[in-house]
């Protein structure tokens, strides 16, 4: 099912954007984020990590994000982003991400990289950021 363009995209960090803190981003992340930013989609990182740790790693990658949130419970953060900015989509790899998307009533797409376990048959998944670009093509193709 193709979604209409959201107002924002929430990114989990470890396992979705990078394999783990300090490692390079997965291929295609920077290009897709750039395309989304060009069409006015806000990008938020919401991670189950300490605020300073996640902010430092996001800054290291130079990924252009609008806000970074380190938190213990992602659900209230995503609910607040919906209240402030409108319709969102959450990209993550963990059941905690899925629960946050359900709490905020936003679509969820699971990153299934490097043999990560699938959550369930009903969850939309992507195996690369290039595949995600076909599932969520907001802004078109990378030029």
Closest by CA to 103, choosing from 126, 132, 135, 80, is: 80
- In the chain, the domains with their CATH numbers are 8-135 (3.40.50.1000)
Q: Is it the case that residue 122 has pLDDT exceeding 90?
A: no
Q: Decide: pTM greater than 0.75.
A: yes
Residue 1, pLDDT above cutoff 50: no
Alpha-carbon distance of 126 to 134, in angstroms, equals 10
Q: In the predicted model, what is the mean pLDDT of residues 125-139?
A: 91
Mean pLDDT estimate for the chain: 93
Task: Say what the pLDDT of residue 3 is.
Answer: 74
Q: How far apart are CA 76 and CA 73, in angstroms?
A: 7
State the Cα–Cα distance between residues 79 and 103, nearest whole angstrom.
7
Say if residue 82's pLDDT is above 70.
yes
Give the single-character DSSP code of 41.
Answer: -
What is the b/e burial string over 37-64, where b = at least 16 CB atoms within 10 angstroms of the residue's CB? beeebbbbbbbbbeeeebbebbeebebe
| Mean per-residue pLDDT, 3-30 | 96
- Answer whether residue 142 shows pLDDT above 90: no
Percent of the chain's residues with pLDDT above 70: 96
**Cα–Cα dist 18/38, whole Å:** 22
């Amino acid at each position: 099912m193709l979604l209409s363009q959201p107002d924002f995209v929430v990114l989990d960090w470890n396992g979705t954007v990078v394999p783990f803190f300090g490692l390079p981003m997965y291929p295609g992340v920077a290009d897709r984020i750039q395309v989304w930013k060009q069409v006015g989609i806000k990008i938020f990182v919401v991670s189950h990590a300490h605020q300073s740790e996640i902010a430092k790693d996001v800054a290291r990658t130079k990924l252009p994000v609008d806000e970074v949130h380190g938190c213990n419970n992602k659900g209230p953060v995503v609910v607040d982003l919906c209240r402030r900015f409108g319709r969102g989509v959450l990209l993550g790899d963990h059941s905690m991400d899925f629960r946050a998307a359900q709490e905020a009533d936003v679509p969820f797409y699971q990153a299934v990289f490097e043999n990560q376990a699938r959550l369930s048959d009903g969850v939309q998944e992507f195996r690369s950021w290039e595949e995600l670009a076909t599932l969520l093509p907001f802004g078109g193709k990378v030029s």
